[in-house]
Amino acid sequence: MACAASVPAEAPDLAAGQVVVFGRIVTVLTAPSSRPYEPKVTFFEVLNRSTGGRIKVTIDSNDKLFVVQLPTGDYEVTRVQIHEGPFAAMADLSLAFHIGQERLAYLGTWQMGVDQPRNDRHLLVAVVQNQADQVEAEQHLIAHHADLADQTITTLLPSPAATDTALYEVMPYPRVVPYFRRHW
């Protein structure tokens, strides 16, 4: 399996011939936490089902708009990484969507609910169409890419609309100098 191609949360230049997909990711704690850190999405990974190509979209925020270009095809969001300060966790997802011949596609607001730190952690994901978020995302997109102002926007919400998945701690845990890691 090939490595994932990394792209920023917002494409600086948009190439012709590909669909521009955009949306918003919001991350919150679902219960009180003893950690002083707010959870944030580090990245999410999108898999093109027909080619097997993977794209890693770097977010690094707890509330951020993303703008990515993808060719037409069937896609699936397969992984998401969450950070809480020095603590990192990964979740496997299966959020599917299809990109057709539209030029612009809004993927909705992805609400990521991170469970409190414990042995059995979960990530609750809800994909919603929030009108205020969509208007804000559209205005942001048009402000940065004026040539898209006259394009029709299609709403493509990934399915399932809600899912609950396990969060697994990943290295580094925590990020400290290597000689403090007793398990190495």
pTM of the model: 0.86
Residue-wise pLDDT for 131-150, tens only, equals: 999 999 999 988 988 888 88
Q: What is the DSSP letter of 152?
A: P
- Domains in the chain: how many in total? 1
Q: What is the DSSP letter of 39?
A: -
Task: Give the strand pairing for 104-114 and 19-29.
Answer: parallel
Residue 71 lies in a domain: yes
Task: Give the strand pairing for 54-61 and 5-8.
Answer: parallel
Query: Residues 100, 17, 152, 11: what is their CA dihedral angle, to the nearest 10 degrees?
Result: 100
Are 167 and 114 within 8 A, CB to CB? Answer: yes
Residue-wise pLDDT for 2-54, tens only, equals: 567 778 787 767 777 788 999 999 999 998 888 888 999 999 999 999 999 99
Residue 48's domain comprises: 19-180
The token pair at 122 is 């979960």
Picking from 22, 6, 4, the residue whose alpha carbon sits closest to that of residue 14 is 22
The token pair at 99 is 């990109």
Residue 102 lies in a domain: yes
Half-sphere exposure of 180 (CA within 13 A, CB side): 6
